[in-house]
Amino acid sequence: MVYILDLEFKMLALKQEQLFEEIDILPIDLKTKIVDKILASITPSNTTIDSLWIQEVNQRKNEIENNQVSLIDGDEVFKKISQRLNT
């Protein structure tokens, strides 16, 4: 019985390794689709939250495009945060 389980485990590991090798040669756009599918299967989407985030993103995009907000470089933001935390 132990031998059979060990053999099944080795076969599964081999299949996984073959899968990883196949994934390595895929184009990036197909890899990202696979990742999206895997993440969706792990964490089911919440359409209400997704819809709210899409609205937020579109609003921020419009504000940037219409010069309603000023963008700050990320390095500057982290520098200011660091200064606040160190005082």
For the segment 69-81, the average pLDDT, to the nearest whole number, is 94
At 2, phi and psi to the nearest 5?
Answer: -65, -40
Cα-atom radius of gyration of the chain, to the nearest Å? 23
68 lies in the same domain as 86: yes
pTM: 0.44
Per-residue model confidence (pLDDT) at position 67: 95
39 lies in the same domain as 50: no
**CB contact at 8 A, 56 and 63:** no
Counting the structural domains of the chain, the total is 2
pLDDT confidence band for 40 (50 / 70 / 90): confident
50 lies in the same domain as 85: yes
The whole domain housing 12 covers: 1-44
Residue 28 clears pLDDT 90, i.e. is over it: yes
5 lies in the same domain as 31: yes
Per-residue model confidence (pLDDT) at position 3: 63
Distance CA 59, CA 25 (A): 38
- Other CB atoms within 10 A of residue 31 CB: 13
Distance CA 77, CA 83 (A): 10
Residue 1 clears pLDDT 60, i.e. is over it: no
Per-residue model confidence (pLDDT) at position 2: 58
